[in-house]
């Protein structure tokens, strides 16, 4: 059953032009310059310090590095990060 779903979803994106983040349950990251990062569709916070934010995603983690990090807003599936961002990296398990 899951197999069929996984096969259908890319087809949905391709032919029905549905947004890929919704259909595939992938995180959407909006970055405004170096100062803001807005992450939606994550699966929870794993680590947060002044210089690093690590969020769980469907597969693996999202790692954001920088300095003077503040979580401006936390909602169940959204996070707004403020600070100076230097790099964003996807870590697969």
Partner 1 sequence: MKHTQGKFLSGYVTILVKGNMPELFFQKCVEQGISVWNVRKKGVDSCVGNVKLSDIHAIKQIKRRGNYRISFIGRKGFPFLFHRFIKRKEVLFGLLIGIFAIIFLSNIIWKVDINGLPKEIEEKVVKQLESYGIHQGAWTLSLGTPSDIQKKLMRDVPELLWIGVQKKGTTFQLEGVEKLIVKEDKVKGPRHLVATKKGTIKKMYISKGVPQVAVNDFVKPGDVLVSGVLNQSEENNKEKDKNKVFVASEGQVIANTWYEVAVSIPLEAKYEVLTGKQEKRYYMGINDFQVPIWGFKTPEYADIFVEQNENPIYFLKWKLPFQFIESSISEKTYHTTKRTKEEAIQIGIEQAKQELVYELGPDAKVISEKVLHVTTERGKVNLELYLTVEEDIVKEVPIQKNSKDGD
Residues 5 to 44: which contact partner 1 by CB under 8 A? Answer: 44
d(CA 32, CA 47): 22
Contact 89, 65 (CB under 8 A): yes
Q: Count interface residues toward partner 1 (CB under 8 A).
A: 15
Q: Using CB under 8 A, which of 76, 87, 92, 93 touches partner 1?
A: 76
Contact 41, 26 (CB under 8 A): yes
Q: Using CB under 8 A, which of 28, 48, 61, 88 touches partner 1?
A: 48
Contact between 74 and partner 1 by CB under 8 A: the answer reads yes
Q: Give the distance, in angstroms, between the CA of residue 74 and the centroid of all CA atoms in the same chain.
A: 13
Residues near partner 1 (CB under 8 A) are 44-45, 47-50, 69-76, 80
């Amino acid at each position: 059953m899951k197999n069929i779903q996984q096969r259908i979803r890319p087809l949905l994106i391709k032919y029905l032009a549905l947004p890929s983040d919704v259909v595939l349950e992938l995180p959407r990251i909006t970055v405004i310059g170096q100062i803001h990062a807005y992450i939606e569709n994550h699966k929870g916070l794993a680590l947060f310090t002044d210089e690093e934010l690590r969020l769980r995603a469907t597969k693996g983690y999202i790692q954001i590095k920088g300095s003077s990090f503040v979580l401006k807003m936390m909602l169940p599936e959204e996070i707004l990060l403020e600070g100076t961002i230097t790099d964003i990296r996807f870590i697969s398990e």
